[in-house]
Structure 1
Amino acid sequence: MAVPLFNLAPDITVSRLCLGTMTFGEQNSLPQSFELLDKAFDSGINFFDSAEMYPVPQRSQTQGRSEEYLGRWIRSRNIPRDRVVLATKVSGPSGQMTWIRNGPESLDSRNIAEAIDNSLRRLQSDYIDLYQVHWPDRYVPMFGETEYDQSRIYSSVSFEEQLAALDRAIGAGKIRYIGLSNETPYGLMKFLHVAEGDFGNARTISVQNCYNLLCRNFDSGMAECCHHERYQF
């Protein structure tokens, strides 16, 4: 049975199933990763998601391997670049992953530009189809937290600076579209509002958040945003 398709953007058609690669390079060896990618691609999946911090659990010795394996697979199988849709992500501020740009400390323009170039090198690609902010450059409850704690607010890089950096990357042909991950309804709408000004090319087209039988946060707030902003879900 063929995997159904839908239009992620006017010029990008993706399979409704996307294969994540966060186990590639840790739980899955290179041959195992290639086998999984072969099976997915042969089944009609053309959409593959990674991140600069993958695989998990994150370690300095393995950081970036998931992107590397994905890029090596495309090259080894001689797959035309326009046959696959590559998505990857830039890490938000952490303080724990010191091997990624000292933390990374923030999502300022320098960090975003450096992360894009590094991902392109590991993926062995001239461009990234969907480039996502892995988590916000500000305090939000995530990764199991459910309640907002206003005492934990810290200074963040502005939405304007983040979008300006992403807009420049789009203009340079390094990325085609941008998306968000682990974002809140406030964050999504703020990114959309700011993009309406000087960064129209950097309008977000996707949100990648936790959603399963136990985590239904999307239904209580983000679904309304996505409905009115014409995101598919």
Structure 2
Amino acid sequence: MKYSPLGNSGLSVSRVCLGSMTWGVQNTQADADQQIGYALDKGVNFIDTAEMYPVPPSEATHGDTERVIGNWLSRNESQREKLVIASKIAGPGFPYVRDNSMISGDSIQVALDDSLARLQSDYIDVYQLHWPNRTSPHFGKHWLNQVKASTQDVAAEKDRMRDIVLGLGKALSSGKIKHWGLSDDTPWGIHTYLQLCNELNVARPVSIQNEFNLLHVKDWPYLIESCVFEDIAYLPWSPLSGGMLSGKYLGGARPAGSRWTMEQRQGLFRNTENAEKAVAAYCDVAKRHGITPSQLALAWCDQVDGVSSTIIGATTMAQLEENIAAFELELPEQCLHEIDEILRDYPIPF
């Protein structure tokens, strides 16, 4: 296993980050225990979760993924200090989570205590803002004029962000979190938080996790450049585009128990004609080079300059083994050239 610095945190994290959002719906406690054990044996030291997991989210299962991890930690206390555990506070979007309130300095204290109790831990290594309070161009909202920056009340947004930074400062001072990070944010969000941290003398964010994969490269190069220059770890989530890049959904297939057979909060917005064509082309490249489509997509993500660690997920052990093995691969130049040609043909397929 290879490792990279987690931004300016001083932590060294595995190039594989074990995602957990299926634990509690598609996966049982026993499944999660097996996944964690295997990942640790392979050198993974980085686990990502969130208070709103598992996915699809519901009031009945809210927080269950953190509970699953907490149950494992309670039986493996000696492993806690070896792990970097990241979790996330939810923003508005769920009536059953703090009455659909925005992230604030006060809500951070409440959400953090709840997460710590579920995780059965005294601290969280990286506490992340799951998405901005303002509507941002993520989750399929990246096409022209879907999100209009000109309609935002920038002063009010900055005031909310200032309050968040102060709340994070309290959490850092208390020792309940060691570092903090962003998720589903933009270059403006990154730089505004950096300015506020300097203004308020609070530690800077160490990471950001955004959707990034062969079907969704909008963070390259501009946001990723900001991350590299500001020493902020860039953590791709959904490197298989919701499983699409594995090829398992080609031709309208819906394997039993797969994510696309379950409720989708934003619908299957990735499932477009061009995305289907792009996936078929990437599958052909993978076949020519003797690897699986998933391994092609993950190994490609890992070699992108500026990527620090890639968040993977799996519902079966076979998938987890296949995915972790992808990070031992070095794609040959011919393979990368073939991938680039497809990217140029389908730069924004959904």
Task: Give the TM-score normalised by structure 1.
Answer: 0.92
Q: Which digits, 9 at most, give the CA deviation of each residue in 1:108-141, with x for residues without a partner?
A: 1221110100000000000000000000011222
Cα distance, 1:180 vs. partner? 0.3
Q: C-alpha displacement at 1:67, in angstroms? A: 0.6
Distance 1:139 1:163, change over 3 A: same
Distance in 2, matches of 1:185 and 1:221, equals 8
CA separation of 1:220 and 1:87: change in aligned 2, threshold 3 A: same
Instruction: Answer whether contact 2:9 2:179 (CA < 8 A) is retained.
Output: no
- Counterpart-to-counterpart distance in 1, 2:4 and 2:225: 20
C-alpha spacing 1:117/1:151, structure 2 compared with 1 (3 Å) = same
Please say if 1:86 is aligned against 2:85: yes
Give the distance between the partners of 2:177 and 2:9, measured in 1 at CA. Answer: 15
Equivalences for residues 18-97 of structure 1 within 5 A: 18-94=17-93, 97=94
SS at structure 2 position matched to 1:217: coil
Map 1:134-153; keep pairs closer than 5 Å: 134-146=130-142, 147=144, 148-150=147-149, 153=152
Distance change (3 Å), C-alpha of 1:136 and 1:79 = same
Q: CA RMSD in A?
A: 1.6
**In 1, distance between residues paired with 2:76 and 2:173?**
30
Provide the residue aligned with 1:100 in structure 2: 97
Question: Which moves more between the two structures, 4-13 or 156-165?
Answer: 4-13
Distance 1:195 1:145 in 2: 28
Equivalence map 1:218-229=2 (5 Å): 218-229=219-230
Instruction: Provide the C-alpha distance between the structure 2 equivalents of 1:170 and 1:108, rounded to a whole number of angstroms.
Output: 15
What is the distance in 1 between the residues matched to 2:91 and 2:151? 16
**Preserved contact between residue 46 and residue 83 of structure 1 (Cα < 8 Å):** yes
Per the alignment, residue 200 of structure 1 pairs with 202
- Which residue matches 2:16? 17
User: How far 1:220 sits from its partner (Å)?
Assistant: 3.8
SS at match of 1:223: helix
CA contact (8 A) 1:107 1:162 kept: yes
184, 188, 197: which one aligns with 1:186: 188
Per mean C-alpha deviation after superposition, the further-off stretch among 13-22 and 69-78 is: 69-78
Which one has a larger percent helix, Structure 1 or Structure 2?
2
The answer to whether the 8 Å contact 1:164/1:199 transfers is no
Letter in 2 for 1:4: K
Q: Percent of aligned positions with the same letter in both sequences?
A: 36
Name the SS of the counterpart of 1:190 in structure 2: helix
Give the corresponding residue for 2:116. Answer: 120
Change in Cα spacing, 1:219 to 1:98, as seen in structure 2 (3 Å) is same
1:170-220 deviation digits (Å, cap 9, x = unpaired)? 00000010100000010011001110112332x101010000001001104
- How far, CA to CA, are the matches of 2:120 and 2:169 in structure 1? 22
How many positions carry a matched residue from both structures? 227
Contact 2:206 2:231 in 1 (8 A): no
**Match among 155, 174, 177 for residue 175 of structure 1:** 177
Partner of 1:6: 4
Highest RCO, 1 vs 2 (Cα 8 Å, sep ≥ 6): 2
Q: What TM-score results when the alignment is normalised by the length of structure 2?
A: 0.62
Aligned to 2:97, the other structure's residue is in SS state: coil
Shift, 1:92, TM fit: 1.1
In structure 1, give the amino acid aligned to 2:136. V
Deviation at 1:159, TM superposition (A): 1.4
Q: Which amino acid aligns with 1:88?
A: S
Matches of 1:139 and 1:152 in 2, distance apart? 10
Gap regions ≥5 residues in structure 2: 234-306, 308-350
* Local SS of the residue matching 2:133: coil
Larger Rg over CA atoms: 2
Gaps of 5+ in 1: none
